[in-house]
């Protein structure tokens, strides 16, 4: 059976929802405290999830302290996990941590960041997304409708790095209008460059995204479900990951 580790502790507050999403998708889930991650034996797992929240109160910058803690607690284990071709996802604060850890778009020096929204305020709304690229998590998905809830979600990268990410097909998700076209605020809720909402590594196995797929598991999670509106649910990302792990990693 596919085993998934979901990080908990220090202000992470979407751990139960993320754990439930992975269980619903068919994984056996273990919640692992960050401080014990180095002793948890990451080699036992096929999936690692870093959920959303406000780790360390977003001190210094959102995700920065979490990234430092991950490096200190289990840096070599996490890097080996990724090198072994296992699956990882960072959602919202987890994406911010992946950026500042420099696990995306590849291990090394930090190449991009997620910073303060152009609106200058916390954004809590549902957004339309277009899926593209080669991420295992988004296989077979062309569009999604998911909630965002963040104050530092603007994707920013130097022009050369942005060109590299685009050229290599590492964009996994983009904000879009309701019709699927070029968005403006609030469809792009934070002003992200090139409307980027999520990116992947070259293998497609590591995904970072600002929207919350764990908050979209049932049709009744849709804010307009009583009007009969239906969109692809976030649970499909987790199902894709579990299916791939069953076929390729277990």
- Contact predicate 166/132, CB 8 Å: no
pLDDT in tens, 54-73: 999 988 889 999 999 999 98
**Cα–Cα distance, 232 to 196 (Å, whole number):** 19
Burial of 107 (0-12, 13-18, 19+ CB in 10 A): middle
For the beta carbon of residue 113, count every other beta carbon within 10 angstroms. 17
- Contact predicate 51/15, CB 8 Å: yes
| Domains of the chain from N-terminus onward | 3-248 (3.40.50.880)
**Whether 164 is catalytic:** no
**Cα–Cα distance, 199 to 195 (Å, whole number):** 11
**Whether 214 is catalytic:** yes
CA 137 remoteness from chain centre: 10
**Whether 14 is catalytic:** no
Mean pLDDT of 12-25: 97
Quote the pTM value: 0.96
**Which residue among the candidates 46, 150, 212, 236 is catalytic per the annotation?**
212
Residue with tokens 């269980």: 23
pLDDT in tens, 188-222: 999 999 999 999 999 999 999 999 999 999 999 99
**Which residue among the candidates 92, 123, 128, 236 is catalytic per the annotation?**
92
**Which residue among the candidates 17, 46, 152, 214 is catalytic per the annotation?**
214
């Amino acid at each position: 059976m596919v085993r998934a580790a979901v990080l908990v502790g220090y202000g992470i507050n979407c751990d139960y929802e993320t754990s439930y999403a992975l269980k619903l998708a068919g994984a056996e889930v273990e919640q692992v405290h960050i401080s014990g991650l180095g002793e948890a034996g990451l080699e036992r797992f096929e999936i690692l999830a870093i959920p959303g929240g406000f780790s360390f109160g977003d001190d210094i910058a959102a995700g920065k302290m979490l990234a430092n803690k991950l490096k200190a607690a289990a840096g070599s284990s996490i890097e080996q996990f990724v090198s072994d071709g296992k699956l990882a996802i960072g959602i919202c604060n987890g994406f911010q941590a992946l950026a500042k850890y420099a696990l995306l778009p590849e291990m090394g020096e930090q190449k991009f960041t997620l910073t303060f929204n152009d609106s200058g305020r916390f954004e809590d709304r549902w957004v339309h997304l277009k899926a593209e690229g080669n991420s295992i998590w988004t296989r077979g998905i062309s569009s999604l409708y998911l909630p965002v809830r963040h104050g530092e979600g603007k994707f920013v990268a130097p022009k050369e790095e942005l060109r590299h990410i685009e050229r290599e097909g590492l964009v996994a998700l983009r904000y879009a209008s309701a019709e699927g076209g070029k968005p403006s605020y609030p469809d792009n809720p934070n002003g992200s460059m090139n409307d980027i909402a999520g990116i992947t590594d070259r293998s497609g196995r590591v995904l970072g995204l600002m929207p919350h797929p764990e908050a979209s598991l049932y049709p009744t999670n849709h804010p307009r479900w009583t009007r009969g509106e239906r969109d692809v649910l976030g649970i499909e990302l987790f199902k894709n990951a579990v299916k791939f792990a069953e076929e390729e990693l277990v």
